[in-house]
A and B are shown apart, each in its own frame.
Chain A
Amino acid sequence: MQPSNSGDVAYDDPWYDALASGWGESAGAGVPPARRERDTTAAAADVYLEVQRSAAFQEVRRRYRRFVVPAVFVFFTWYVAYVVTATTSPDLLARPVAGAVNVGLLAGLGQFLSTFLLTWAYVRHARLRRDRAALELRWGAQELARGRGGPS
């Protein structure tokens, strides 16, 4: 597979980058051996160090962390606050809002809603901000490794 095949069409569908990754050819008898058993030469190891130090990779990592760290903090705090409030001060959650609905029911449904929203936001962020750069890095690393006779 040529890296150039991973253009716009391929980019939108995981099935295409799946095929492009090269496992398709090796399905069946030629199952790749465990990676430790694989020939991890010094040259191949250098490839990963080189990619890790590249500005493009640092940017992908920065984008990933800048979304995930605050998002984990937000949902975890919100969840723990909910559980702790429910167990320590049930009166707060028992306050009626409208009809039979009270603060507690709204908070519970709010947990569902925030989970769905964060899922949507993460997927959107990954698709728009990370996927293309990550795919290019992947090809770059594999090309580099191939050029040096390393894995892949």
Chain B
Amino acid sequence: MTVDHRTTALLLFALFVAVTLGITTWVSRHRQGSAEEFYAGGRLFSPMENGFALAGDYMSAASFLGISGLICLVGYDGMLYSVGFLVAWLVVLFLVAELVRNCGRFTLADVVAARMRERPVRIAAGTSSVTVSVLYLVAQMVGAGSLVALLLGGTGGAAQAWTVVGVGVLMVIYVSLGGMRATTWIQIVKAVLLLVGTVALTVLVLLRFHGDLNLLLHTAAERSGHGDAFLAPGLAYGADWTARFDFISLGLALVLGTAGLPHILSRFYTVPTARAARRSVVWAIGLIGGFYLMTIVLGFGAAALIGPDAVRASHASGNTAVPLLALDLGGGAGTTGGTVLFAVVAAIAFATILAVVAGITLASSASVAHDLYASLRRRGGKPRSEVAVARVAAAGIGLLAIALGLLARDLNVAFLVGLAFAVAASANLPVLLYSLFWRGFTTRGAVWSVYGGLVPAVVLVLLSPVVSGSPDSLFPGVDFQLFPLQNPGLVSIPLGFLAGWLGTVTSAEVPDEARHAETEVRALTGAGAV
């Protein structure tokens, strides 16, 4: 990697930072400091804008670099990720988006607390939302650090550490100064950049093969050294039954976790009505579906043009496949085209990380201020003071994420993302679905279902091979591994649902019929929705 790559990439990235800071200043020029404005951008976004922002929130660098890289290395098995990430949106569209828009104001806890005793439910839902957000945030920070080392050749630990700090500071600035309005526009800019970059690369790959997908697949299979097995499942997850169950577990977490991610849920409050929320999900499904289809082409393209061995030599888990592919498509190393295209891809990857962390930070600061702080300290505080708390919370979460990001620098990014999805699916989804659809659901059921999903998910990870007992673990020296799977979803998601049911049937509380009626009528008609 020559200096040219680095300079061009840094210039492009500086441009993105300048533009996003400009957006932040511009949207906050008439700031009023209301909660409506800070958490929900005044609920004034159009479905198309929110659809792009949803797509921007969802398509992380893990998708852009990780999935294509995985497909390049293990072929078909990598494609299973693309499918899971997309199908998950049907859960969001059918069961969550419209109803949540109608029932809540800013957070997941709003929807649940409407029917229950507010304090315990808010504390539970707030805690699990913050946990999910911080896990996801750390994953992105770690990704940012390794990305800079990877793409800009700054292999030293210092460059990585400063990247984590820089990303953390920028996201706190975006969120605490610009709130939801700035965050949404940054997501939109990023989503457009990411999609344009992906389309350009895909077109170049297809042109290279004269539009012949058959030739592309054949070349990829040949070059991989696995032959036709490269185009069929089994290379990554077919080794033994543990690996198979691990994949099924991950697949469940992916498809059920999306609907419980706090930063996705909070996006539905930025549009005026439930129907606008529905239409923004349709936009998001279109954009995300197209994006994941293209990552498949890019992955097989990288396998065909670069070859898995060359990619593996550059980065063991394949994250450099797309940048290397860009270099090759632009004309190869040393050419202007190659340099520019490589730098563009690197800058897009940075932009992706920066936008995603801003979205998550905003959602978690809302959970801290609107749910936890409001319940624990001063019930019924003024909206203005709540926003002030949220701004401070954003800075606090930024600091926490920087610290954890530096600590977890060597942790596998994909594992952290998978864990965040698993916790969201175990702790947030059951309580959300029960509140919306179960007449007899009670406060104790709500609290149990949150903790009954959250605690097993976290404990099972601590007892998994990820943390101890194998050479790749976080603590390879000790062995307290009791649970064989890396992803806890297969066990913890059913436990979350079971705990909610158990808590409800054992509680003496009689479900409030009137409040259930209110939730149901509001959810389906929008009467009384803010």
Contacts and interface: CB of A to CB of B under 8 A. Distances in A.
B93 A119 contact: yes
Contacts of B517: 45, 48-49, 51-52
Nearest to A28: B32
B529 A21 contact: yes
Nearest to B82: A108
A5 interface: no
B248 A35 contact: no
Contact of B520 (A52, A86, A90, A145): A52
B410 interface: no
A75 B255 CA distance: 11
Contact of B527 (A45, A51, A123): A51
Contacts of B86: 111-112, 115
B527 A137 contact: yes
A119 B513 CA distance: 33
Given A115-B289, A141-B525, A45 B83 contact: no
Nearest to A123: B282
A135 B521 CA distance: 11
Interface stretch (B1-9, B142-150, B213-221, B470-478): B213-221
A14 B216 CA distance: 44
A104 B529 CA distance: 45
Given A100-B218, A119-B90, A82 B524 contact: no
A95 B171 CA distance: 48
Interface string B76-89: 11011011101101
Interface in A1-52: 14-15, 17-19, 21, 23, 27-29, 31-37, 45-46, 48-49, 51-52
Given A31-B34, A31-B35, A119-B90, A93 B528 contact: no
A122 B272 contact: no
B80 A35 contact: no
Contact of A141 (B114, B229, B289, B528): B528
Contact of A36 (B46, B113, B530): B113
A145 B528 contact: yes
Given A48-B514, A141-B521, A14 B279 contact: yes
Interface in A100-138: 100-102, 104-105, 108, 111-112, 115-116, 118-119, 122-123, 126, 130-131, 134-135, 137-138
A100 B221 contact: yes
Contacts of A104: 76, 231-233
B95 A126 contact: no
Given A31-B35, A83-B80, A83-B251, A105 B524 contact: no
B479 interface: no
B263 interface: no
Contacts of B247: 83, 86-87
Contact of B233 (A18, A75, A86, A118): A86
Contacts of B14: none
B153 interface: no
Interface in B184-223: 213-214, 217-218, 221
A19 B273 CA distance: 9
Contacts of A80: 251-252
B309 interface: no
Given A17-B275, A23-B530, A46-B514, A60 B525 contact: yes
B276 A64 contact: no
A137 B279 CA distance: 21
Contact of A64 (B251, B272, B286, B524): B524
B237 to A, nearest CB: 6
B273 A14 contact: yes
A52 B237 contact: no
Contacts of A87: 233, 237-238, 244, 247-248
A71 B87 CA distance: 12
Contacts of A32: 530
A93 B276 contact: no
Contact of B528 (A34, A88, A105, A152): A152
A21 B513 CA distance: 26
B482 interface: no
A101 B220 CA distance: 12
Given A87-B233, A102-B231, A115-B87, A21 B218 contact: no
Contact of B228 (A68, A94, A108, A151): A94
B363 interface: no
A118 B335 CA distance: 46
Nearest to B275: A14
Interface in B15-41: 32, 34-36
Given A36-B118, A48-B518, A138-B526, A68 B95 contact: yes
Given A87-B238, A142-B527, 6 more contacts: A99-B214, A116-B289, A126-B275, A126-B278, A141-B521, A152-B528
Interface of A: 14-15, 17-19, 21, 23, 27-29, 31-37, 45-46, 48-49, 51-52, 57, 60-61, 64, 68, 71-72, 75-76, 79-80, 82-84, 86-88, 90-91, 93-94, 96, 99-102, 104-105, 108, 111-112, 115-116, 118-119, 122-123, 126, 130-131, 134-135, 137-138, 140-142, 145, 151-152
Interface of B: 32, 34-36, 42-43, 46-47, 76-77, 79-80, 82-84, 86-87, 89-91, 93-95, 105, 113-114, 118, 213-214, 217-218, 221, 228-229, 231-234, 237-238, 244, 247-248, 251-252, 255, 271-273, 275-276, 278-279, 282, 285-286, 289, 292-293, 296, 380, 383, 513-515, 517-518, 520-522, 524-530
20 contacts: A15-B276, A19-B272, A21-B273, A29-B32, A35-B105, A36-B114, A36-B118, A49-B514, A49-B517, A72-B95, A79-B87, A87-B238, A94-B228, A100-B221, A104-B76, A115-B285, A131-B275, A134-B524, A137-B521, A141-B521
Closest 9 CB pairs of A and B: A18-B272, A94-B232, A100-B217, A141-B527, A90-B234, A52-B517, A86-B233, A48-B518, A45-B514
